[in-house]
Structure 1
Amino acid sequence: MSMFTIISYDIVDDKRRASVMKLLKGYGVRVQYSVFEAMLDAREFRAVSDQLRKLIDPAQDSVRCYRLDAVAAERTVIHGIGRITTDPTHYMV
């Protein structure tokens, strides 16, 4: 089952920051400079977590992952522009 996941990061080094950003672009949508939203199942979450641990310096960097169930995601409030990221209901090929 996929869960709504918010991933935020504070990366000191430009090269590591760029690597983290590129990784997360493959999993979700960038909603702020250092914040991504994604729908990830358990396997995808483990994969992205494993890759993030390899990219960062734990003595200098911080990555936070918030896994929200459907009820918690529905309670999300956005002030200003933007909307909750959701998977598309269909794809055009």
Structure 2
Amino acid sequence: MLTLISYDVVIDKRRTQVMKYLLGYGSRVQYSVFECDLTAEQFATVQRDIARLIDAQTDSVRCYRLDTGAIKQIRILGRGQVTTLPPYYLVG
């Protein structure tokens, strides 16, 4: 399911760790916003792992799960497009 993840992490080192971690799951669409296509299991893993990377007292991470209806309502002004990942990858 398409998942929008945004973060506001105070310390540069932690912010970089979160960014690098999320690069393994999706596309960076803005400075601190990622679009990820995650299964329920991956979503649980991402939540658990990010919770370990951040300081819950000072940092904020928001995860929005978007169903098909919500995806159809996305409007982008200016540059960019909604991330579309293929259902499979060909490795040759």
- Which residue of the partner structure matches residue 42 of structure 1? 40
Alpha-carbon separation, structure 2, partners of 1:47 and 1:58: 17
The one-letter amino acid of 2:42's match is E
Unaligned runs of 5+ in 2: none
When the two chains are superposed, the root-mean-square deviation of aligned CA atoms in Å is 1.1
Taking structure 1 as the reference length, what is the TM-score of the superposition?
A: 0.93
Deviations 1:27-79 (A, max 9, x none): 00000000000110100000000000000001100000000101111110000
Partner of 1:73: 71
Q: Decide which moves more: 5-14 or 80-89.
A: 80-89
Distance 2:41 2:88 in 1: 22
- Identity, in percent, stands at 55
Please point out which of 5, 8, 12 is paired with 2:6. Answer: 8
Instruction: Describe how 1:17-36 pairs up with structure 2 within 5 A.
Output: 17-36=15-34
State the SS of the aligned residue for 2:61: strand
Q: Tell me which amino acid in the other structure corresponds to 1:17.
A: R
Report the Cα offset of residue 89 of structure 1: 5.3
Match of 1:55 in 2: 53
Alignment partner of 1:67: what SS? strand
Q: Which amino acid aligns with 1:69?
A: D
